[in-house]
Amino acid sequence: MGIAGVLETCVYAGDLEAARGFYQGLLGLELFAEQPGRHLFFRAGPGVFLVFNPQATQQETTLPPHGALGSVHVCFRVAAEELPGWAERLEAHGYPVTWAEWKAGPSLYVRDPAGNLVELAPAAIWGLPDGHLKPQ
């Protein structure tokens, strides 16, 4: 018995169409399920990335109510050599980037349309092997 890894993670965004434009249109994540006004589900490498409308998740359904106030943080794993290209792409679309330099290398931060803090970083910042990175 043990934890095998993180299967899914989520952020909250009141404007799902803006979130779709950012995560699918700009970051290139594959949208595989949606419920209008409630959620967007994306593939992110071997895991799943969920975007929920926080007002739609406060009612109990088959799931307990959930949500978050304020911005949250998520980090997507990318190849280190791709970071400058990501920064250029994000800034060209009007999303300012903040760089951080860690002992094991850099990462970049950007705010999504809902104000969530999105980080792009190589696995090495946590001492993990990059392995094979398959672009989305």
β-strand 47-52 against 39-44: which pairing, if any? antiparallel
Measure the CA dihedral 59/64/65/67, to 10°.
Answer: -150
Question: What's the CA gap between 118 and 109, in Å, rounded?
Answer: 6
Verdict on whether the full-model pTM lies above 0.85? yes
Taking only the tens place, the pLDDT of each residue in 21-78 is: 999 999 999 999 999 999 999 999 999 999 999 988 887 777 787 888 789 999 999 9
Question: SS3 for 36?
Answer: coil
Domain ranges of the chain: 8-60+71-126
Give Dmax (Cα) for the chain: 46
Class of domain 8-60+71-126 as given by CATH = alpha beta
Task: Indicate left, alpha or beta for 21 from its phi (over 0: left) and psi (-120 to 50: alpha).
Answer: alpha
